[in-house]
Amino acid sequence: MSDSSFPDPQVRHPIVTADGTPHAGTVFLSAVLDHPRIEVGVYSYASAHQAPSNWAAHLAPYLYDFSPERLLIGKFCQIADGVTFVTASANHRYDGVSSFPFAVFGSGPIEGRASMPEPGPDTIIGHDVWIGQGARILPGAVLGNGVIVGAGAVVSGQVPAYSIVAGNPARVVRSRFNAADVARLNIIAWWDWPIAKILEYEPLISGTDVTALEAVSAE
């Protein structure tokens, strides 16, 4: 495939069905997200069986324009139907006697109220991360490059690059590569190559020969 036939990352619907109509349920996120607290890399896409009218609210329903935290998604990520990013603004304070958010129901300004939690951390998704159907990514989760998240997993904390996680709570099932190869893959960073080079070396990027991929990355 040539880069001229590969869809531009700003195309809203990058998949075309057999009858020539765009697949409404799959979008390049960089083309549909306009949210001040979300950053997303090129070619990352999301799918939904019922295409939402607002993809930002669909994916991150608790991330508001005024939220202090951010959702950061890398390049070439794959986000399946039903994935939800539960960002830090969904949190309640839970270090005291009650977790009830009295402040959101009135009786004065919200800022500085005792029942409100402190601002929470960003949620960070690396490059080339595949998040399976119905997974929940919890506030402050950091997923390394090349992570695969199993369907229905509930993910929190730090997830090492190129690991597979599954379950509730999610646990590392295995690493996709040994530690030395993971380090090499993070340096190769194929997702930063020009799209023409990515397509030229698609077989290597989709394969398992890290040494061969490393060799062409130096070209």
Active site residues: 92
Ordered strands of the 84-85 beta sheet: 84-85, 136-137, 154-155
Beta bridge partners, 47, equal: 26
Q: Which DSSP state fits 108?
A: S
Token pair in block for residue 138: 């919890």
Burial, 66: exposed, middle or buried (Cβ in 10 Å; 0-12, 13-18, 19+)?
A: exposed
Answer yes or no: are the C-beta atoms of 71 and 87 closer than 8 Å: yes
At a CB cut-off of 8 Å and minimum separation 6, what does 64 contact? 37, 89
At a CB cut-off of 8 Å and minimum separation 6, what does 125 contact? 71, 72, 73, 74, 77, 131, 137, 143
Number of H helices, E strands in the chain: 6, 15
Amino acid at 124: I
Answer yes or no: are the C-beta atoms of 47 and 26 closer than 8 Å: yes
Q: Which helix (H) or strand (E) holds 188?
A: helix 179-188
